[in-house]
Each structure stands twice: as structure tokens, then as C-alpha cells.
Amino acid sequence: MQVTLAYPYADFVTTLGHIVFYPVKKADVEKWGQEYTKHVNGTGPFKFVEWVDDQHINLVRNDDYYGEKAKLDAVEYKIFADENTAFLEFKAVNLEFTQIPIGKIKATQDDPTYGQYCLNAPMVSILYYGMSLNYPLFRDNPKLREAINYAIDRENICEVVAEGVPTR
């Protein structure tokens, strides 16, 4: 396959690493249409089994995988409406891994029962305030946009709101 760009784009190869560019079977997309994401296939160490909305996604080991075989027979991703519920399930030993909700990170790190299991690693993310330039208030007011930029206390957000944990 060959791609011709309309203009120079230095990040093109990096962009291809995004999930929307992962290889998929054309026949599967044609077969499932809009429901394709519920019938995924892939090339990894696990095979897709089932996706139940708002409940779980199940995978099983792909014994045909070309690389090192997975050490687990299966994986179940539980889906929760909010991270607090997931965290309570983790504390009840019903989950092996979850994200610690903002506001509970320091207390969990200091907790002798759970602190030893806390992982603190930065994640690639972008946090921003969007101002629609469709509205004259923002479009016609570059000084207002600049003032909002300078009014944001980034250090306070990082240290107090996010409890010193790298953004996620």
C-alpha cells in the first residue's frame, strides 16, 4: 500500500501508531459494520471473546500467537461507571488492578494494606481548557485567552488536585 500526502507532515509515521490505524480484516468490517468493535480480531497474545456493554470485555489466550505465549489463560476487563466503584471493588479483592481515584492517592499510598501495591508512573496525556473561537467572546479577545492561560495555577493542579501524581 502507498500513501500520498497532500502536504508535508513530519509526524505521519508516528501518527500511524494510533489505534485507528491498526490492521483489521476488511471482511470483518464488512460483515459487522457499525458493530465491528464488538467482534474484534487481532494479532496479539490474546483473542477477543465477548464485549458486554457497561459490564466487561473477555479475552482468552491466543495459542496461535507467533510470539511468547501469554502466561494467563484468560483476561476479563470489568467496566465501571465510575472509578470510585472500581476502587472499592479492588479493595474488596474483586479486582487485581485499577486506577486510584484523584483525592484518594496519598491516603492509599500511606495505607499499610494497599500502599505497597501502588504504582506511580506518568502517562501520556494532554489536559487543556478549550475555548471555542466560534464565540466572539473568545475569538475577538486574545488578551482574555492569554489572561486565562496565565490564571491557571499549574503547580497547584499538579501538587494539590492530582496529589503530585503525574497527569493521567
More confident residue, 101 or 167: 101
pTM above 0.75, yes or no: no
- Domain membership flag for residue 50: yes
- Domain membership flag for residue 42: yes
Average pLDDT, the chain: 87
- Domain membership flag for residue 166: no
- Domain membership flag for residue 1: yes
- Number of domains within the chain: 1
- Domain membership flag for residue 72: yes
Model pLDDT for residues 71-127, shown as the tens digit of each residue: 999 999 999 999 999 999 999 989 998 988 888 888 998 999 888 888 777 666 677
- Domain membership flag for residue 168: no
Q: How many CB atoms lie within 10 A of CB 36?
A: 15
Model pLDDT for residues 41-55, shown as the tens digit of each residue: 777 899 989 889 999
Q: What per-residue confidence (pLDDT) applies to 123?
A: 62
- Domain membership flag for residue 67: yes
Which amino acid would we find at residue 91?
Answer: K
- Domain membership flag for residue 30: yes
| Structural domain that includes position 2 | 1-79
CATH of the domain at 30: 3.40.190.10
